[in-house]
Structure 1
C-alpha cells in the first residue's frame, strides 16, 4: 500500500460507505430507484448517479457534455448546476445499468487507491474548475459518500452506519463550520459563548466562543453561563447541518437553553452543505 498515512483514514471511510451503498442497491427492485430521499430533489437513482459521477471525476474522467432541463427547481446555484450534470445525465438509466456502472467505478477507484503515491498536498481538480489539495479531495469524498449513504438508508429504511469511519470524518468537517454559523451567520453577541452538546453513536461537546472582534473559535472546554446551549442527538445534528430537515421539524429533538432568539438564529443557519 503506497497511500500516504494522512490519506488513509479518508480512503477507509470512503471504502466503508461505498461498500454499504453498493450492498443496499445491488438487488434493489426497479421501482425503488425512484424513491425520494432526504436530499432535496434527489431520488435513490440520483444519489447513486452523483456518487458515481463524483468518483469518476476523482479518477480524472472528462465531465459529461449535457444541458440541464429548465424544470429542475431544486437547482438554484452554480455549484448545484455543476453537481446536477452528473445526476441528470443518468436519470433514464435502468437499474442494471446503474449497478453495473457503480461496480465498475468502485473497482477503478479501489485500483486508484492501491496505486496512489501522490503527496497529500498535490493540487487536483475540484468542483467548478477550482483546485484543491489531494487531502481535501479525499476528505470531501469521504464526507460526501457517508452523507449520501445516510440519505439512502433513510429512504430505504436501512438505518445504520452512524458511528462508521465516515461519521467521524463528517463530525470533524461539520464542526469546522460552527464558528461561522454562530459568530457571523447568527450574529452572536461579542464576548459570548454557545455550547453544542451532542449525544448518540458519536458524542461530543463543543463551545464556540465569540471574541471582542466578533470572531468565533471552537473549543472543547465547556463554557459557564453560555448565551445558548443546544442539546441534540448525532443523527439530528447531521440532518440539520446537511439541510435534510428544517429546524421546525426537529424542534422536539433539540433542547435549547438561553437566549431564544439567538438559538433560533443558530438553528436557522445550521445547514452548511452546498
Structure 2
C-alpha cells in the first residue's frame, strides 16, 4: 500500500476501534490487555496519543523520568493519559483524530499502521470481541515488521521457520512451516504468540512455545 492507502486504513480502523470500545463497562476498561502490565484503557490511551504527540520539551522530561527506557516512557505517558480521562473521553479522542496524519517525531505512517492494527487486537482479544483486520493493511504491516530489527526482532526470534499466509500472497523466512491467516501471523511477528497459536498450523508451531508469548506497546 502507498502512503494515502495506509492513512485511509488507519483512519477507518481508528473509527472501528472507537466503536468497539464505546460500550465497555468500567470493569472491561480495566481488563488486562495482551501487553503485560497494560490495561485496555492504557493501550487505548497509547493509540489515542499517536496523533496527539507531546512537545519536544515534555518528551525529554518524560524520557529523563523513564531513565532512558523507551518502553517505560511509553507506559508512563499512556497510563497518565488514561488516568486523566474516562473511557468515553478516550473514545471521543479516537474519533476526533481518526483522520489526522500527525505523527510523533520518532516514527512514520508505516509504523503507525502496524501499531494500530496490533494494539487493537491487544484490546479486542482479551475482551472476547471481534475486530477484523483489513487484509491489505495486515499484509503491509507484516512486511514492515518482518523487515525491522528493534523492537520485535522477528527474523531473529523466528529463525528456522517459514511463515506462510493462508489468505493472502505473503510468506517469509525459511525452515519449518507455520501457516495461518495474515492477521494471526502479524500478531506472531510482534510477539503475541499465546493469543494466536491456536490459529496456526504446520510443523513449526511446536517450536513457538520457546519464544515470547506476550507483547508490549512500542
Pairing 1:240–2:188 present: yes
TM-score (norm 1): 0.60
**Paired position in structure 2 for 1:197:** 164
Say if 1:124 and 1:245 are closer, same or farther in 2 by CA, change over 3 A. Answer: closer
Which structure dedicates a bigger proportion of its chain to strand?
A: 1
Pairing 1:174–2:142 present: no
How do 1:62-77 and structure 2 match up within 5 A?
A: 63=58
Q: Which has the higher contact order (CA 8 A, sep 6+)?
A: 2
Superposition deviation, residue 60 in structure 1: 5.6
**Paired position in structure 1 for 2:176:** 228
In 2: Cα distance, 1:45 partner to 1:203 partner:
32
Which structure dedicates a bigger proportion of its chain to helix?
A: 2
Q: Larger Rg: 1 or 2?
A: 1
**Paired position in structure 1 for 2:200:** 253
Partner SS, residue 41 of structure 1: coil
**Paired position in structure 2 for 1:28:** 24
Superposition deviation, residue 269 in structure 1: 7.3
Structure 1: state its 5+ residue gaps.
Answer: 70-74, 117-122, 127-131, 189-193, 210-226
Provide the alpha-carbon RMSD of the alignment.
4.1
In 2: Cα distance, 1:175 partner to 1:231 partner:
16
Say if 1:256 and 1:177 are closer, same or farther in 2 by CA, change over 3 A. Answer: farther
CA contact (8 A) 2:135 2:168 kept: no
